[in-house]
Structure 1
Amino acid sequence: MEVAEQPGSDIMVLDVRTGETVDGPLPRARNTSLAWLPGGDAFYYVSRLPDEELAPGDMRLQRRVRLHRIGSPWQTDAVVFGGEDAPDHYYGLTVSADGRYLAITATVGPASHNDVYVAELVDPEAPRLIKIVDGGTIRARVLPRFLTDGNLLLVTDYQAPCGRICTAHWRDTDPATWRTLVAEDPQAPLDECLVLDDPALPRPLLLVARTRHGTSALALHDLASGRLLTDLPLPGAGVVSSLRTNIPPGRHARFSYCDATTPPTIYRYDAASGKTEQETGTTIAGRTPEIRSRSVRYPAGDGAEITLLLFTPAEEHQGPRPTLLYGYGSFGMPMRPWFFPLAAAWVSAGGTYAIACVRGGGEEGQHWHDAGRGPHKHRAISDFNDAATWLIDTGRTTRDQLAIFGQSAGGLLVTAAATQRPDLYAAIIAEGPLCDMVRYENFGLGCTWTDEFGTASQPEQLQWLLTYSPYHNITPGAPYPAFLLTGAVIDLQTGEAHVTKMCAALQHATGSDRPILMRREPDTAHAAFPASKERALTADILAFAGKYTGLSPEKTTMRPHETAAEPH
């Protein structure tokens, strides 16, 4: 069976052979983790408490882990974990292949560390969970996976900022006893791993995904010793994600691959034959432009080397191009050369699309995140402005041809960059941004993000926030570039007030004749648009950025190439 989450945050259970609905809806399950018990008759999931059980206006997560049995009303689902003492926790769920063990990760908001609880499932409706990792003590991320003998495989950045893989007994609460299986590579942060242990294989294997210089790398290791066996070839310099296998024991690994010119496509690696092949029927039909992609390094003001991903039309072109510069720089989220339809459309029209991998992200491991959060958030913003300066100084674009774009915390990045250096940019687009960093804790889920940004309740941390808060750094009479601020009418994540306040303040303050526009979308949520609304938003962003940078699709001679769907 397959589980599909609908736009209303309901879970529907489908029969993958017939497409028929088997069960559901299970409500209030937005971004839930799921873990099936063997047999497909029951699964654990995460859902928010019903509104009637919450205080009026309670915007905290208020999530619980529940067990659902197929065919039973959701109202009877047993709560197995979570309570009033953990209103801001996210939960991740894993069940061992034989159904004997359950592991739960618990993270306070987007904190850079988590707790791990494990239980032997004597009674699935009342698991006796043991806390084996205290994230607050070791200050690290730990993601557990079960081996066939019941022991744990731990992917962690504990004493390894770029990640390592360890093994441990499921009752072992002392990190000093963990055995390192695959050591940290300081030049290649660890992404994920997958066990392949089909009896038909000569030995159990471990497939490991890392990111090296902004692109993915896959390697095969011996599961018993951790020894590297071979590096696996990939279709190109792109991004690998979602490593999966059949219900263990597994022989085939499936993964998603994409790059600047390739939409997400499923590939299958056969550990017995050593071959990697594209899954039949997984190519998305359509037209994709011929794009030249490359990674460069530019110097930040303090001497740090920052990666900049550049995407340009394939044909050579002398002189500056209209450029759209993107960034995020928060929560340790790495920027990668994903296939992004907006970027593909921009480049196909003749522009340059650039991604600045500023500090605060996770491109170089946990230390890169730490260098751009809390009291150091200003570094992420200065890194971004330095990227703009480098693009201009090297002749790739000009101030009149440069627009910047950010989403959510990336919206904070670009609005902060623009209020600090309005002279660098022709246009700014911020989608669902954070702008009032003094009051962000009062909006949406902001109260769960103090580990990333700090809190205005502490005088010292208030000063951090005031130094870069876009709303508080607007200067009356400054000649601001064109702004497009977009957001949902009801945004349960960042809150809807940031867009309205920032727009009003900029309209009142600007000394230029460039417009300050606000685009409000009803019946959507933060970064959760239906496809039709997403297309309309993308069209508006492209039209706005194109107008104020001089991008004209009629001037390009790019040759799109067809991508035909394979027959099923």
Structure 2
Amino acid sequence: VGTPQSADELVLSFPENDQYFITPEVSEDDRYLVVHITEGTDPATRLWVYPITSDGLGEPVKVVDHFADEIAFVRMSGEDLVLRTDRDAPRGRVVLASLDGTFTDLVPEGPDTLQAVRGTASGPATLTLVDAQPVLTLYAPDGSDARVVDAPGGGVVGLDASPEYDELFVGLSTATDPTLSYVVSASTGDVRALPELVRGSGGFASPPITVERRLEPGREVPYFVISRADLDYSSPRPTLLYGYGGFRIPILADYRPGWPAWLAAGGVLVIANLRGGGEYGSDWHQAGRLKNKQNVFDDFIAVAEHLRDTGVTTPAQLAIHGRSNGGLLVGAAMTQRPDLFAVALPGVGVMDMLRFHLFTVGAAWASDFGHPGDLEQFEDLLAYSPLHRLCDGTSYPATLVVTGDHDDRVVPLHSHKFIAALQHAQSASVPVLTRIEVNTGHGFGKPAAMIASEWADLLAFAAHHVGLVPPEQ
């Protein structure tokens, strides 16, 4: 700082592989620069630590120097590193790691999925998913004395702590509340709400809701069914089915800006936990990536069929939505089973699976999708690529594709090519439209008014074509 960039010291680079991501952080005791090295979007991690000396950085100690397991640094504990890892533990565990790479359990693997670990002055705190629902647990410094914190919520907005302090700050959300903030004493487990940190709702009050957990029995796919608590759902209702299923990202019953309005209007919201996600550990992820990617779409279709068979909704009342990898999910589902859905709402989706690797960061997704340059993987990709699955003269659902003209993650050509081919192929009388937001990217950083406008268009389009009419107030 304070000198020209040309004077900066290059610490680490891998010019032979432009898919490596390097993530550095300084340990809380200022003794080490801890560097995570990953390739593309694969969670497998190499972990190097550089001693910090009065003369600068020492030579790196390569604690783990091969890509095999997910590893995340938490804090120092004497001469050992506290790490979160899935090595020999598909659901995750917390270990003490010596600098020679020897792992010793601190919090062993349990039946639930370990998502995050934070260090506090009183011991580690873990965030686990219990059937896709977050649970915060406090431990003594040696990993004993597990205590569950009473702070319910559907999803985690934030989890912040420091090894120097006893306090732990937690942000949770529900399907209708964007943030519920708490401060937790790591030593006592006492919880205090922080309502002053939550922005106002602008006068809109979401109705009370019920959240049910259900299981599609054939493929054993869990899902949430969320609805207004004060309406009769004894007969099929207009329903919005949402999913993602990829990159080991867990999908929870948490807040999205469109959910409160859909629920207030009397619609049913279904959130599916699909293979490929992170709800049930690394094995669940493996079951939905590469050659297993079709499992994700089969799971989604199975949930839709179960909703139909159990009387929650009908194909004429069912809309599907997903974004990014979830946009791919919607594109695959609607092209494989167009008869099952009335409305498709793919957002910023990856639709051309044969050319995704040629644009911006697309090549990094090969860890989940495979690479079109590999003949066997090419065949797998071609089999479900939404752009290439379209067939002329087919009756497809009413479709509204959304994208941003400056999306540098999933470039908008995916949406443009798909909508053009879909308009050509469509034989039904329902519309096939695209909504292009200008001067925006993949979604991050959008102003609230722009987000509200997009959701209003999505929900109005879906409501019109599934027959959702809000109840009289």
SS at match of 2:196: coil
Moved over 4 A (4+): 71-78, 123-127
SS at match of 1:91: strand
SS at match of 1:498: helix
The match for 2:457 is: 540
> RMSD of the alignment, in Å?
1.8
CA deviation profile, 1:356-393 (whole Å, cap 9, x unmatched): 11111111111011001100111100110111111111
In 2, the alpha carbon distance for the partners of 1:527 and 1:410 equals 13
Amino acid of the residue matched to residue 281 of structure 1?
E
SS at match of 1:214: coil
TM-score, normalization by structure 2: 0.94
The match for 2:377 is: 461
The match for 2:81 is: 152
Tell me by how many angstroms 1:336 deviates: 0.7
CA deviation profile, 1:481-522 (whole Å, cap 9, x unmatched): 111111111221112211111011111111111111111122
Identity over the aligned pairs, expressed in percent? 34
Tell me by how many angstroms 1:449 deviates: 1.1
Counterpart contact for 1:195–1:250, Cα < 8 Å: no
Pair 1:185-2:102 in alignment: no
In 1, the alpha carbon distance for the partners of 2:4 and 2:159 equals 33
Gaps of 5+ in 1: 1-68, 198-203, 558-568
The match for 2:135 is: 217
Count of matched residue pairs: 468
Q: Which stretch has the larger CA shift, 122-131 or 452-461?
A: 122-131
The match for 1:285 is: 200
The match for 1:44 is: none
CA deviation profile, 1:334-358 (whole Å, cap 9, x unmatched): 1111122211110011101111111
The match for 1:132 is: 63
Question: Do the aligned partners of residues 97 and 426 (structure 1) sit closer, same or farther apart at CA in structure 2, a change above 3 Å counting?
Answer: same
Tell me by how many angstroms 1:442 deviates: 1.4
In 1, the alpha carbon distance for the partners of 2:207 and 2:369 equals 38
Counterpart contact for 1:78–1:125, Cα < 8 Å: no
In 1, the alpha carbon distance for the partners of 2:76 and 2:43 equals 25
The match for 1:227 is: 144
CA deviation profile, 1:498-552 (whole Å, cap 9, x unmatched): 1111011111111111111111122111122232222211111111111111112
Question: Do the aligned partners of residues 127 and 353 (structure 1) sit closer, same or farther apart at CA in structure 2, a change above 3 Å counting?
Answer: farther
Amino acid of the residue matched to residue 207 of structure 2?
P
The match for 1:264 is: 179
Tell me by how many angstroms 1:98 deviates: 2.4
Question: Do the aligned partners of residues 86 and 459 (structure 1) sit closer, same or farther apart at CA in structure 2, a change above 3 Å counting?
Answer: closer
The match for 2:442 is: 526
SS at match of 2:460: helix
The match for 1:374 is: 290
Pair 1:438-2:366 in alignment: no
SS at match of 2:308: helix
Amino acid of the residue matched to residue 24 of structure 2?
L
Q: How does 1:362-441 map to 2 (within 5 A)?
A: 362-441=278-357
In 2, the alpha carbon distance for the partners of 1:530 and 1:90 equals 29
In 2, the alpha carbon distance for the partners of 1:265 and 1:157 equals 29
Question: Do the aligned partners of residues 314 and 280 (structure 1) sit closer, same or farther apart at CA in structure 2, a change above 3 Å counting?
Answer: closer
Gaps of 5+ in 2: none
In 2, the alpha carbon distance for the partners of 1:480 and 1:409 equals 20
Tell me by how many angstroms 1:76 deviates: 5.7
The match for 2:263 is: 347
SS at match of 2:293: helix
Question: Do the aligned partners of residues 123 and 108 (structure 1) sit closer, same or farther apart at CA in structure 2, a change above 3 Å counting?
Answer: farther
Q: 2:224 aligns with which of 289, 309, 315?
A: 309
The match for 1:109 is: 40
